[in-house]
Amino acid sequence: MSPKSAPSDILRIATAQLNPVVGDVAGNLAKAREARADAARHGADLVLFTELFIAGYPPEDLVLKPAFVEACETAVQALADDTKDGGPGVIIGVPLKRKSGLHNAIMVLDGGKVIAERYKLDLPNYGEFDEKRVFQPGPDMPGPVNFRGIRIGIPICEDIWGELDVCETLAESGAEILLVPNGSPYYRGKVEVRHQVVIRQVIESGLPMLYANQLGGQDELVFDGASFAIQADKSLAFQMSQFEEAVSVSAWKREGEGWRCDDGPMSRIPEKEEADYRACMLGLRDYVNKNGFKNVVLGLSGGIDSAICAALAVDALGEERVRCIMMPYRYTSKDSLKDAEDCARALGCRYDIVPISEPVEGFSSALGQLFEGTAEGVTEENLQSRTRGTILMAVSNKFGSMVVTTGNKSEMSVGYATLYGDMNGGFNPIKDVYKMQVYALSSWRNTIVPPGALGPSGEVIPQNIIDKAPSAELRPDQTDQDSLPPYPVLDDILECLVEGEMSVDAIVARGHERETVHRVEHLLYIAEYKRRQAAPGVKITKKNFGRDRRYPITNRFRDRS
């Protein structure tokens, strides 16, 4: 059957904001077919999928395996064959091996065949992106694709973010509308950044632009969707939801010599705490589910970090898939015991108590001769943490549960964590969340249940946990501020050093003591070896540890200003 002809002045486009799985070519093909069928039921002429959809994004070095690239192209050819039914055409992202090299590409499918290929020209090589490692840029500036008599420009993600004039060239080549497949990860405030990028390109090209963005967690990255379109007059044409899968159809009409979106969704975009919380929740859910874990286990200490991680786990997975274990020792306060139990009860998840006195004292006894004549200190404190880590890993091994580790970004920055102890775990949902933000997220979650959450409403993090001074409880009357500056001070200095790469002088000019800034900078550098061994976790800020910030472990530089 020949493709259904779209009227020359109307084009109905389905934006497929979906959650592919890297490497699951068959699963991603099935998801694409389901989305196309849904789009057909709603009268769409064309379905726009996201960047490298059939492979999952980012595939990293997986695309260096020829068998994988071949499987991806074979899957798209099968999808192309589907289009001979006369239903919607398809634009879909796929890695392609051609004479010019291995490309991050799209294929346009219609009438039972591939009618066009286009290759990404501007390959990002900063922050979380490393595409120049595996792909070759397109050999030429891409021209528009003739789809049922409409000339469509299809720049791919970075082609609209970088300095190359891809959109302007497409406009000069006769493109009438720009459709952009993207794999743009979340960080705080990213939706507004994307809007501004697209508005700039709309101004320069004079063409409306539809921005389709991937959804879902992939290791440390969370793709938040929030696909949208901007009219040629720079107004918002439509806005899809954030953190939710959807296939939404927008109607475009030719008005004079240009195109205008006449109908599309207008969803609310969450702000601040809600967006960060939902990103952490989605990242944890997808990491657990995509890697095949049935449930999770975490140490619930009565502190705020483990409490919010427990809440995130229940919201992401449901109470029946979350197990919390309190592991008290002689320094564990009665408040902590009560707070941990109250938190688990409020969340409805399983709660066990495993005292650690015997194993800790067993380690101390075994090491007694080696440690004879030395004073007790950090080593003995860390034995407690490492005992807890061993118990959690034993439960993980026995029952197949993934251990959720619970250290926040403030602690990870300055090494206030025990390697092979509280750092044990498979994934950390708050790894990129500073301590003061943990408090803000906890208070927010006590008043609102976010969309898609499986946990209960009401106060799920006891107020006493939020109000009390944070403590590792590894010695009598210990608080975090015995070893660290107050968290509001520490977090501001760390944001300046990590996200801002600011000098010591500039940070001091903000009102901080020079000695404190030097000390925090030193702690930040010497903790690099710990961070290299930390579990992956959700990226929330513009510069997370791991993919974005890659400092050497061996490093003697200090800013002496």
- Residue 349 catalytic? no
Residue pair 88/47 in contact by the 8 Å Cβ criterion: yes
CB atoms within 10 A of CB 452: 13
Q: Which of 475, 510, 493, 300 is nearest to 375 (CA)?
A: 475
- Please give the structure tokens belonging to residue 141: 């500036």
The H-or-E segment that residue 229 falls in is strand 228-230
Q: Annotated catalytic residue: which of 31, 72, 120, 167?
A: 120
Q: Which of 533, 290, 299, 547 is nearest to 404 (CA)?
A: 299
Dihedral angle at the C-alpha atoms of 269, 272, 274, 277, nearest 10 degrees?
A: 130
CA distances from 231 to 105, 247, 259, 525 (A): 25, 20, 8, 47
Distance, CA of 51 to CA of 502 (rounded, Å): 34
Q: Annotated catalytic residue: which of 31, 73, 157, 309?
A: 157
- Give the residue carrying structure tokens 């564990």: 332
Radius of gyration of the chain (CA): 26
Distance, CA of 548 to CA of 532 (rounded, Å): 13
- Residue 468 catalytic? no
Q: Annotated catalytic residue: which of 51, 274, 381, 411?
A: 51
State yes or no: cis peptide before 429, omega within 30 of 0.
Answer: no
- Please give the structure tokens belonging to residue 109: 């499918």
**β-pair partners for 110:** 113
Distance, CA of 22 to CA of 93 (rounded, Å): 13
- Give the residue carrying structure tokens 């004292």: 361
Distance, CA of 135 to CA of 103 (rounded, Å): 5
- Residue 473 catalytic? no
**β-pair partners for 211:** 180, 228
Residue pair 3/89 in contact by the 8 Å Cβ criterion: yes
Q: Enumerate the active-site residues.
A: 51, 120, 157
